[in-house]
Structure 1
């Protein structure tokens, strides 16, 4: 494993860097990076339903869609992100510990600073029950990209204003605001340390734990190639926003594996268009699942037949076919 130095604060560039490293490097990789104010949208989410557009625009907050699934997160210069790129077949990803394995170095580093953190739920790291890190993954052939955000001294007020608070997200939690369920690492530290000092500490800690001795700095040619990816994908409206949904059937459901928004256009009883959004995870592209439903009659019998050979867990990890059918037609 090598450590890749990335000092950019450009969210579009930083996500393009992940894709570039994923597709062009054979080495396993560890990287830390910091974004200026930005919102990172999960690959399967409906961007417009996740952000407060007026606030985002007036405060010059960048919006970029990730390669990975999961929910929307807010970044600023009090926030840090970490990335691991590994051989997927050496990463225990088939087990429930797939996410926790990559969160563990962060937890151990904080423990060495007398900050007690734990991995909770499907993809969070928390302190005293409050979230400071969300994690997500993306699969590419034999590679696995795992990344997470670390709230160190984030502006929680801006976070609350930039992201929409969805009632569905807080179902059964008894919590009504984003700010009430998150925390900054710095508020739990016994010693004073700014974000960049913490970044250096975490870098050295993880490098030592993983016996990383090679530090790689991006070359001019690397940067040229990364900027090509940035301009062709991560800076484009099509990638970050796409077509805003306007369908005749809309339904939202909260599952143990995440939330899903169903947007379906039905003409003469036949599904002519479908878009699935949410903070769920899955190995296969959700568009493949959508394509299996197009042209099918919008009823239980025909949809059940169309989905009988589908391994739902590959598209939405942890979701059953019955649960999906219930979301499609409200059984």
Structure 2
């Protein structure tokens, strides 16, 4: 039986499609997502983990996303990526429910999720599926898994990273595989633009990366996905068949849309960041007049819980610095909300153009930290 008791297909006839796939798959199943939306695909992972009985079968999900940065559950996005560049380039930010480090996804990157019972969870075997598949495509290709459960090409270039979620009875292990990703954008968005952050969040470990297509142009996403599906089926004794699945199908996957929406919320993506502090110094300049400023903040659940802005009183009155700090406390640590809050204070500023100019410069500098 695929669906747990609460979702028994005898009770809900709309679940027959997914159930019949599992019954036809017998001991295992290979699925390929029809979506390229990062939130929909992450929701599909969690739906399968939460609702599918994996005690007597295994399942492989293959999926790709349009450009996105995906951080681990316990990471700090301000430390991990260039949020300003991502906003400018339309690169989505998502927080997954597994641990591990930050990865960049685009349509040149494959994602693979191996589902099993917790007792049968085996990352070594899963990575062997991937490396064996690649070597079937190109005999002699130098790909091997590391003790960190990454996959290296030619001994020094990372082409795959790993993360996992272990539930009470079920588990999944997912990994990436670089085939033909935009490496220049990957490098740019995975470089933090925020300075002065102090945090105990899980840091990513930078590594040199390479695409498989840099080694062999024939190793494109379609060929590699087909090879991984074939190798997985061979190792688990399954019929070599890949079934498409639509993660927006609310009839077959009840609750899936709400799960995807939850993954998009600010409270999840940013608000789940472990507590951190900011200690940043910067220069503010208004024409020929300049000064050094200091910013001290404490941030919990993505919200500013303490703030202090320090500037010489002869550049900007201390009362205005204190007013700025007071306005920011309780707000989100993000430039959009900061702009709204500082605009409210601007209306109370003295009308002199010099003070207003300096105030705007200070506010822009504070927002740039975010």
Give the TM-score of the pair, scaled to structure 1: 0.65
CA shift, 1:204, in A, is 1.9
Distance (Å, rounded) in 2 between the aligned partners of 1:135 and 1:193: 20
Q: 2:60 aligns with which of 30, 55, 67?
A: 30
- Corresponding residue for residue 127 of structure 2: 103
Quick check: 2:133–2:224 contact (8 Å CA) kept in 1?
A: no
Distance (Å, rounded) in 1 between the aligned partners of 2:167 and 2:276: 31
Quick check: 1:3–1:212 contact (8 Å CA) kept in 2?
A: no
Q: 1:228 aligns with which of 248, 251, 258?
A: 258
Q: 1:240 aligns with which of 226, 245, 269?
A: 269
SS of aligned partner of 2:223: helix
Question: Over the residues paired in the alignment, what is the CA RMSD in angstroms?
Answer: 2.8
- Corresponding residue for residue 75 of structure 1: 105
SS of aligned partner of 2:158: strand
Residue 142 in 1 paired to residue 169 in 2? yes
Residue 125 in 1 paired to residue 132 in 2? no
Distance 1:215 1:201, change over 3 A: closer
Distance (Å, rounded) in 2 between the aligned partners of 1:41 and 1:54: 16
- Corresponding residue for residue 191 of structure 2: 164
Distance (Å, rounded) in 2 between the aligned partners of 1:29 and 1:143: 11
CA shift, 1:30, in A, is 0.5
Residue 44 in 1 paired to residue 70 in 2? no
Quick check: 2:152–2:160 contact (8 Å CA) kept in 1?
A: yes
Cα shift readout 1:148-175 (whole Å, capped 9, x = no counterpart): 00000111100011112699xxxxxxxx
List gaps (5 residues or longer) in structure 1. 92-97, 168-176, 250-262, 266-272, 274-331
Taking the TM superposition and a 5 Å limit, the aligned residue runs for 1:161-310 are 161-164=188-191, 181-189=208-216, 192-213=218-239, 215-218=242-245, 220=249, 221-223=251-253, 225-231=255-261, 233-242=262-271, 245-247=275-277
Distance (Å, rounded) in 1 between the aligned partners of 2:192 and 2:78: 13
Distance (Å, rounded) in 2 between the aligned partners of 1:161 and 1:248: 22
SS of aligned partner of 1:26: coil
Cα shift readout 1:221-273 (whole Å, capped 9, x = no counterpart): 13553212111x21111111117645489xxxxxxxxxxxxx989xxxxxxx9
Quick check: 1:79–1:154 contact (8 Å CA) kept in 2?
A: yes
- Matched pairs, number: 236
SS of aligned partner of 1:90: coil
SS of aligned partner of 1:68: coil
Quick check: 1:15–1:66 contact (8 Å CA) kept in 2?
A: yes
Quick check: 2:34–2:244 contact (8 Å CA) kept in 1?
A: no
Distance 1:241 1:264, change over 3 A: closer
Quick check: 2:69–2:104 contact (8 Å CA) kept in 1?
A: yes
SS of aligned partner of 1:89: coil
CA shift, 1:73, in A, is 0.3
Quick check: 2:178–2:211 contact (8 Å CA) kept in 1?
A: yes
Quick check: 1:110–1:116 contact (8 Å CA) kept in 2?
A: no
Distance (Å, rounded) in 1 between the aligned partners of 2:219 and 2:115: 28
SS of aligned partner of 2:166: strand
Distance 1:83 1:117, change over 3 A: same
SS of aligned partner of 2:119: helix
- Corresponding residue for residue 9 of structure 1: 36
Quick check: 1:81–1:147 contact (8 Å CA) kept in 2?
A: yes
List gaps (5 residues or longer) in structure 2. 1-27, 196-204, 280-296, 300-304, 306-370
Distance (Å, rounded) in 1 between the aligned partners of 2:87 and 2:253: 28
Distance (Å, rounded) in 2 between the aligned partners of 1:243 and 1:193: 37
CA shift, 1:215, in A, is 4.8
Distance (Å, rounded) in 2 between the aligned partners of 1:184 and 1:248: 36
Structure showing greater radius of gyration is 2
Quick check: 2:159–2:211 contact (8 Å CA) kept in 1?
A: yes
